[in-house]
Amino acid sequence: MEDVLRPIYQERASQANTLGILILEKFKPISPVTDNFDVILFIIVRDAEDSWYVKHYEFDEKSAAMHIVDEKLLKHWIDTSSYRRAIEWIINGAIIFERNEYVTDLKERLRSFPQKTRDLKKAIEFAKLIRSYSESKDLFESEQYLDSFSRMVHSLHYLARLSIIEKGFHPEVTVWNQVRRIEPEIYKLYQELIESDEPTDKRVQLMLLAVEHAISKRARSSAKHLLELMEENEEAWAFGDLKVHPEVKEYALDLSSMVEYLAENDFIEVVLQDTKGPSIYHRKYKVKSSHELYSS
């Protein structure tokens, strides 16, 4: 298959801004990793006009997809897990061209999973988990059990991805197959929610307790990225300032829920400042404790 596609990728390999080319073939009839294409050509470039260009091909009753991605966008995908297929293409793809061992070094960085990247990814998944869990709980208390069930499924997905990152792995597209091997406890929770014979409300009620415990157990470690950022400033943070900080932008949409959880559970303190209005205060936030936050 590589021979058939050689004229296509050789043209790209000859261009000075091409950093590396990988190929990944479909290994089973239904393949979400390759979007069900028979083969993926993944080309990493520098200073591209289009940050992500895709072209589809067909040959010998087979299909191929070529993805040309600028390295800046690829870095964003890696740091945030926002396009997990690309990470799998790099990890599992075969190198057919690279400049100055670019792809070899990239594969090694993904395998080593630097702590800074891991902390950011944990914060992203934790923030999503807090919001989704809160929504599920609110819907349950409103007796909207099916909607609460739906949000709980999402909550368990975020918890699953968070647990995988904790173990030093990148979440895959087929996340539950991965969780079954790496974190069987959370896989069992998912099975209980989906497969139990209990009424829907009873299943959700049980999961609310289990997920609340899982969140509490992981809070310090998962919020490390945000808490360390907040400690860089001796003054209390206005929420608006925190929300627009470039380090927080990847989980800014879920930041409010995360900050509220951390305040309610004594990881950060609320600092009230006077306004011009009587009995109305600005609400600001400051990390409550210091080195103990990062012990877990």
Query: What percentage of the chain exceeds 70 in pLDDT?
Result: 97
CATH superfamily of the 2-112 domain: Beta Polymerase, domain 2 (3.30.460.10)
User: Domain coordinates of the chain in residue numbers?
Assistant: 2-112, 115-294
**What is the structure's pLDDT at 292?**
46
Kindly state which CATH superfamily the domain 115-294 is placed in: Nucleotidyltransferases  domain 2 (1.20.120.330)
pLDDT at 27 over 60: yes
Cβ neighbourhood burial of 62 (10 Å; 0-12, 13-18, 19+): middle
- Which of 31-40, 94-103, 144-153, 254-263 has the lowest average pLDDT? 31-40
pLDDT in tens, 109-126: 999 988 999 999 999 999
Half-sphere exposure of 93 (CA within 13 A, CB side): 30
pLDDT score, position 273: 87
